Amino acid sequence: MQLTIDHLLDSSVSENTWRTYESARINFLYYMYTFGLLEIRQSWSCQRFLPEAVTSVQWTAYHAHLYRANYAWNTIKQYTTNVRSWLMKAGFQDPTKIEGEPDHAFWTLFKSIKKKLHGDKKERYPISYCHLYQLYCRCMTRRDKDGVLIPGFDETLAANLWFCFSIMFHGLLRTSEVNTKNKAFRKMVECSRADVALFEASGQKSYAEIDVKESKTNPDPSRKGFMLRLYATGNAMCPVLALKRLWKLDSSRSATRPLLDYRSLEERRLNKPVRADRAQLTKWISLLLKHSGIDDQIELKKFTTHSFRSGAASELAKQHAGIDVISNAGRWSSDAVQAYIETVQRNPEAIQRISSMLASSPIVNTYL
């Protein structure tokens, strides 16, 4: 009896999978035909209904069509997988990539559709001035809230991390705009040491400029970057001071070297590959906040690399800056900035509790 039940279940799954696969293929062909992109070919293979190539524009437009046709998120995701697999088996290139690299226009649209239909269920906390100050204290002293040295946290690593924290907060940056995405540094699209300049003049305010080569916040599909200018703030957490401190410890201006480096002293001594990716940065954010007094692992996971951008927007809102001012500062072209500002309003008790934990640190008055 059990074998019969298992056989029926397997048959049911296989049939549903086949139906979904066929439905995805037919839907894709229907889209191509409707918009005049389908070309009947003489070959009797599965390619006979398709053009010579499926371009990135066609692939992206197809998903926009699915969204406009009110398909559910799970259906769109399954169709994407099935049609992509079918096209690649038919001899086409992976439609989600261009010359071997992920197609940014498609993935940006795909993630946007997911947010609209599925929602972003992961709760994130913003990095406030209180959190930023605690990170500053950890990087300056390299000690935890009780004054004990943090293992593996040397001066150069601390300088790199603090410079990253400072510019991401004051520049409302995304982590990909100043960090590398993997161990293989791509100097044509990622920030190098040569992409940062410091300008100082007698009687004038100092400032630093960072050439952000590629930006997700640019609404143009080319993802063209921008020149970020950060002025001296006159206080201890100034990004210009953070840059000066980093250059004092490591004066390299190499165009072939990533802007940031999160290797420990031992890793640098062993000539390990440079680590300046999101995963490594997230680990250090969690570790330093833990050493600042946040012991709850669930709470710690709610602070991510994006918390600097949302935190800066929230702090500007607290100071009654207008939406236009905040949008311009963070280069938002949509109303997405509202989501960051409302985070504090939705869950003020949790944010206050975390801030209270940090404020109780014995080292809090050291740099005031």
Q: What is the pLDDT of residue 367?
A: 35
Q: Is the pLDDT of residue 264 over 70?
A: yes
Domain extent, residue 39, equals 2-117
Mean pLDDT to the nearest integer, 288-309: 86
Q: What is the pLDDT of residue 346?
A: 52
The answer to whether residues 298 and 172 belong to one domain is yes
The answer to whether residues 64 and 152 belong to one domain is no
Q: Is the pLDDT of residue 157 over 60?
A: yes
The answer to whether residues 68 and 212 belong to one domain is no
The answer to whether residues 12 and 57 belong to one domain is yes
Q: Is the pLDDT of residue 40 over 90?
A: no
Q: How confident is the model at residue 48 (pLDDT cuts 50, 70, 90)?
A: low
Query: Looking at residue 126, what DSSP letter applies?
Result: -
The answer to whether residues 191 and 291 belong to one domain is yes
Lowest mean pLDDT among 75-79, 204-208, 274-278: 204-208
Q: What is the pLDDT of residue 365?
A: 39
Q: Which residues contact 31 (CB under 8 A, 6 or more apart)?
A: 37, 62, 65
- Per the domain annotation, does 368 fall within a domain? no
Alpha-carbon span 299 to 333, nearest angstrom: 30
Indicate the residue among 117, 138, 156 that finishes a domain: 117
The answer to whether residues 104 and 149 belong to one domain is no
Annotate 244-281 with DSSP letters as a single string.
HHHHHH-----TTSBS-----HHHHHTTPPP--SHHHH
Mean pLDDT to the nearest integer, 157-171: 94
Alpha-carbon span 134 to 130, nearest angstrom: 6
The answer to whether residues 109 and 149 belong to one domain is no
Q: What is the mean pLDDT of the chain?
A: 78
Q: How confident is the model at residue 366 (pLDDT cuts 50, 70, 90)?
A: very low
Alpha-carbon span 209 to 194, nearest angstrom: 11
CATH number of the CATH domain containing 9: 1.10.150.130
Indicate the residue among 117, 152, 187 that finishes a domain: 117
The answer to whether residues 192 and 72 belong to one domain is no
Indicate the residue among 117, 147, 177 that finishes a domain: 117
Q: What is the pLDDT of residue 77?
A: 87
Q: How confident is the model at residue 251 (pLDDT cuts 50, 70, 90)?
A: confident
CATH number of the CATH domain containing 233: 1.10.443.10
Our count of domains for the chain comes to: 2
